[in-house]
Structure 1
Amino acid sequence: MVCRLPYVAPTRYADNSLQERPGPSRATPFQVPTPPPSESGSPVCPWDDTPDPAGDIPANIVISISATFHPTSDILPTRPDTMLLSSDDVFFYTHRATMLAKSTNHWNGLMPSLCTLRSSDTSMVVPCPEPAPVLNVRVVLHVVYELSCAFYKPSLDVISAAIDAMAAYGIPPKDHIAPSTPLYALILAQAPTNPIAAYVLAASHDLYSLAVPVSSHLLSFPLRSLTDELTEKIGPAYLKRLFFLHYGRLEALRRLLRAPPHPHTPTDRCDFADQQGMTRAWALSSAYLAWDARPDLPASAIAAAFLPLADRLTCYLCKQNLVERANQVIVQWSMVKRSI
């Protein structure tokens, strides 16, 4: 998307777009791009008849404009009246009333309230310290306008930075990251591949409804690998919940393994003394599992530890009791809580 802008030299980026930062922070009438679609499909911003106070206006100077938040976007019925400029020189055309309605601190003090604006302040350029992938946008502005940003496939690092920016701009993350929102679903979809980053994100903003399902992907995470930086971001409350999840599951597993199969009524071929062999074999297998127990121990490992013991037993009733007890442990283990 192309617009002319004075006093600037174009810079070509990796995506072949030409970007450029304007000098003044408040737009004069001739600096406010409101381009109609051109024949090539890219909005072009022609200059109006307002004279240039500096004299010369360089020709063919172009800037980068968001593909979603551009001058002719139909996100809302009204035309955009405020431009946000990212740190990497991309413009986002927004609606001042919408931005202020979602922010509790006037966009971190960068955007005056509607009642304090003069009638001549028809448009603004608001510089923001975030780069385009964060500001966009791919998250922040999409949240403000209640749009899904899944199309852009932002990484968890970008999402995390965007949520930090939301908090700074007075947009409470708790109000916009709930189970029914697109951003919640986007974070949860990336949790299996990067669970600790997703948990840090949820914990640092007290997003309990998100932290609960994310924590189920941390059962295989080694708690000893937590760094001081991560523990500080997680905070004591959510760190305690994560530790209790791990240790609670380990204790539940040991408790399940502790009870051996019930003995059967003595028979001519298998009395109580004979059944002690089954009990000792169970105890040895239980000790093996408990020694190397993990919060994410799969049911297949339990089956592999106990079911082969039945092949070594000559008593049919002993075999039956051992298999039944092993299956009980597997079922009960699958019912142990898997999240904080």
Structure 2
Amino acid sequence: MQYTIESYINIAKTIIEGQRPEDKIYHHLALTGDKDVFALMAGADLIRDTFFKREIHLCSICNGKSGTCSENCKFCSQSKFHTSDIEIYPLMSKAELQKRAYALMDTDVHRYSVVTTGKGLGKSEVRQVADALGELPSKKLSYCVSLGILDDEDMAYLKACGIGRYHHNLETCRSHFDTVCTSHTYDDRINTIKKAKNAGLSVCSGGIFGVGESMAQVLELAFELRELEVDAVPINFLTPIPGTPFEGENNLTPLRCLKIISVMRYVLPDTDIIICGGRIPNLKMLHPFVFQAGANGIMTGDYLTTKGNQLQEDLDMINQLGFE
């Protein structure tokens, strides 16, 4: 069956009306060819505009603890099993974590997130991060943490300190996970998300693309995130960092990236979709089209061990596109 731009728009309208298409329609969307990606995007853009208008969410992260990670995620430069040339340091002090937040308070950034390396922070470190953010004013910024696999007690402490969101990516779908990481299980990640939700935290969870997944597996991840009812979905595109097992991988094109974003928007119509790592290197000249593909947010500034667009560059792009 060949879809036209009208077909994509009609599917989008059905989704906006609260109806869920059959899975076979989603699978057809995932198989959209390059020549039809902009037609696919038209429907995704309509969905985004319906639920989020012209407003773009901006978040920024702090690499609060770097390197020597016990996990073997093949894309990550911070694993102790890899040989990437990165800066290694222990957990930042409360003062340093707060200093980086204060630097954002008079900007257009909405959310500040502290991200740390490792399978999961120890309890004293969890409390150090939570106490640091808990002492900050909450009117100008929202706060998020990404501290790995934690238990119920840790999640409750984060919530009690006023932290609103927990970030924990699934990274990829269940059927592909063991080709990306073997030092912990997919269910470890699922259970961490459930514990965060049980503590009353909103959840930011998505994945990284370009690690050998098929478009059917992109769709599988989207369905998993929908089932978990996460609040925000960060989309990362692989930056093949030297010293990692994926350093030679490069199976992404700008159009494939836009297709991944669009498919996510069709499956997750009213969920925040935030474009994060690898945005510029993979989308290249097409990176401003992420919003027309369905995204309603971007991560601005540097990432964990790679560089990103700086805030003013992103603000200029948003303004030039007519978004707010």
The TM-score with structure 1 as length reference comes to: 0.23
User: Which is higher, the Rg of structure 1 or of structure 2?
Assistant: 1
| Structure holding more strand per residue | 2
| Structure holding more helix per residue | 1
Quick one: higher RCO (CA 8 Å, sep 6+), 1 or 2? 2
